[in-house]
Structure formats: structure tokens, C-alpha cells
Amino acid sequence: MTPYRRAILELGTGNDLHGGDYTKAALRAVQDALHHSSLAFLRALSIPAAEMRVAVTIGVQRPEAVDAERVKASLPYGQITVQVVKGGLDVPDPGGKDPAVIASAALAVSIPVGG
């Protein structure tokens, strides 16, 4: 079995300002993290993108409200796992009906080494 090492840790935030949609906020956090990085080193090292492992951790106040499969499907490459944990932030609406939902995302990319 080929060992893997984490090569990148990228962070992002996303929100849903109206509607309280935790999945929408999570998807935006993942896209934010993706737009902060370029994986050009994969080509330079001749590592197929399909071989990288991407461990996604999403933090929101209501983890059970996130559709982890939709988050997983939003990533273009790799062997992807998604874990949703308590975190993020809910900003209450003064009227009590329309909270702003903020999600945090961490994308840890591991690549095969040695072997």
C-alpha cells in the first residue's frame, strides 16, 4: 500500500445570508477554499488528480442539516471524504425568522509518496 502525505491544507468560508441553508453555506465555503489554491504540482510530479485524497471538514451549527453528498459532488477530482462537524456561526435575525448561516471548510489534500 502506497503511503500518503498531506500536501495542502486550504481553508474557506461561505454563507447563506437569507434562508438558513446550511448546505448552500457549506458549498460556498468549499468553493472559497478551492479558489485559493492551484494544484499545478500534481502535473509537475506526474501524479494523476484521481490519486489524490481530499478530506473535507465542514463546520456549521447544525451538522445534520448539511447534505454531505452534494458537498462531495462539488469537488472536481480525487478520492473525497466529507465530515460535517459542529462549528461555523449562526447570526440571528432580529425578527427571529431569517438567520444568516456561516460555514467553515477545511480541505486537506494528500498525495502518494514513495512506494
- Stretch 81-101: mean pLDDT, rounded? 93
Residue given cell 427571529 in the structure block: 96
Give the three cell numbers for residue 110: 494528500
User: Is pLDDT of 100 > 90?
Assistant: yes
pLDDT digits (tens, 9 = 90+) for 37-88: 777 777 888 888 888 999 999 999 999 999 999 999 999 889 999 999 999 9
Q: Regarding the domain delimited by 4-112, which CATH topology (the fold level of the hierarchy) does it fall under?
A: 60s Ribosomal Protein L30; Chain: A; (3.30.1330)
Residues shown for the chain: 115
Say if pTM beats, i.e. exceeds, 0.85.
yes
3-state secondary structure of 85: strand
Name the average pLDDT for the chain: 92
Residue 115 has pLDDT above 80, yes or no: no
